Structure 1
Amino acid sequence: MPFKSLIPSSGKPRTAHPFSLLQNEIDRLFDDFGRGLHGASLGDITPRIDVAETDKSIEVTVELPGLEEKDVQIDFTDDVLTIKGEKKSEKEEKDKNHRISERSYGSFLRAIQLPSGIDPAAIEANIANGVLTVRAPKPAPRVTKKIEIKKAG
């Protein structure tokens, strides 16, 4: 029995479980491997992401060649950063004996689970040279307070 069939799924991206991001990346790795055996798909528009953590922030970098800020939407709800947009790819080659024209269109969505406690108003995003960078300041560490127990009566 395939391993993937043992994992319950509702067809929606799994973001609540701590290992869901790892599972999604493993699935993508196998999808990419299979696609490499049969040639790249012209309609593959899923952007590649990197997530890095520093002392003060979490930085998400997304490869979006040819896109501008008007083509991308970023939302942050329930500790999930969602990046979605529409990508249009056109390639045209002309020679005196032949002409090749390839086009692909489609939308994409990437969802990244971030730690709880991030202030949505503090998240910053910018895009330059086809690379989107989103920075979310890390939340302050939670403080544990010891509560003194007093003797009753």
Structure 2
Amino acid sequence: MTLVHWSPLSTLLTGPSYPTASVRRWVPPMDLVEAPEHYLVRLDLPGLGRDDVTIEIEDRVLTISGERTATVSGENARAVRVERAGGGFRRSLTLPDGIDADAVTAHMEHGVLTVSVPKPVAAKPRRVEISAGAAA
């Protein structure tokens, strides 16, 4: 039987193997929530600010795109292990007919982007009151 010296630090630095940051593609997680008056799109964008993200609506397609750069802080620093992917991302959703693009709003707080898309008037449920008396 052979005894092998085990060092937790060497395991941390050498394995398990992960793809390099240049191979991995960053796709921020996204939620789509339907409320009675609007749809909410939420993306986790840690480390990004308002100026790093672009939101566009064209032909009923909502596109959220941006880029997160992978950096190593400090002079003479080198990355020993990189697991947080960087690079550009693009997420697109097709919106229902009748969306008013001018009414779409966006808010970013604590690394979470929330885009509110009001529902079209035709898509909202409408209650019709029943009147009493003679029909017109």
TM-score, normalised relative to structure 2: 0.65
Aligned counterparts of 1:107 and 1:126: Cα–Cα separation in 2: 20
Does 1:67 pair with 2:48? yes
* Cα shift at 1:90: 3.0
* Structure 2 counterpart of 1:125: 106
- Between the aligned residues of both structures, percent identity stands at 37
Q: Which has the larger radius of gyration?
A: 2
The amino acid of 2:32's aligned partner reads V
The C-alpha deviation readout for 1:17-36, integer Å capped at 9, x for no partner, is xxxxxxxxxxxxxxxxxxxx
* Structure 2 counterpart of 1:45: 26
The amino acid of 2:39's aligned partner reads I
* Cα shift at 1:100: 5.0
Aligned counterparts of 2:29 and 2:61: Cα–Cα separation in 1: 17
Equivalent positions of 1:1-153 (< 5 A) are 39=18, 42=21, 43-90=24-71, 101=79, 102=82, 105-141=86-122
SS of equivalent to 1:89: coil
State whether residues 70 and 87 of structure 2, in contact with CA within 8 Å, keep that contact through their aligned partners in structure 1.
no
* Structure 1 counterpart of 2:4: none
Q: Structure 1, unaligned stretches of length 5 or more?
A: 1-37, 94-98, 143-153
State whether residues 30 and 42 of structure 2, in contact with CA within 8 Å, keep that contact through their aligned partners in structure 1.
yes
SS of equivalent to 2:102: helix
State whether residues 99 and 119 of structure 2, in contact with CA within 8 Å, keep that contact through their aligned partners in structure 1.
yes
Aligned counterparts of 1:140 and 1:126: Cα–Cα separation in 2: 23
Aligned counterparts of 1:130 and 1:141: Cα–Cα separation in 2: 34
TM-score, normalised relative to structure 1: 0.58
The amino acid of 2:97's aligned partner reads S
Q: Which stretch of structure 1 is more off in the superposition, 73-82 or 43-52?
A: 43-52
CA 1:53/1:64 → structure 2, altered by over 3 Å: closer, same or farther? same
Higher RCO structure, 1 or 2 (CA under 8 Å, sep 6+)? 2
Larger helix proportion of the pair? 1
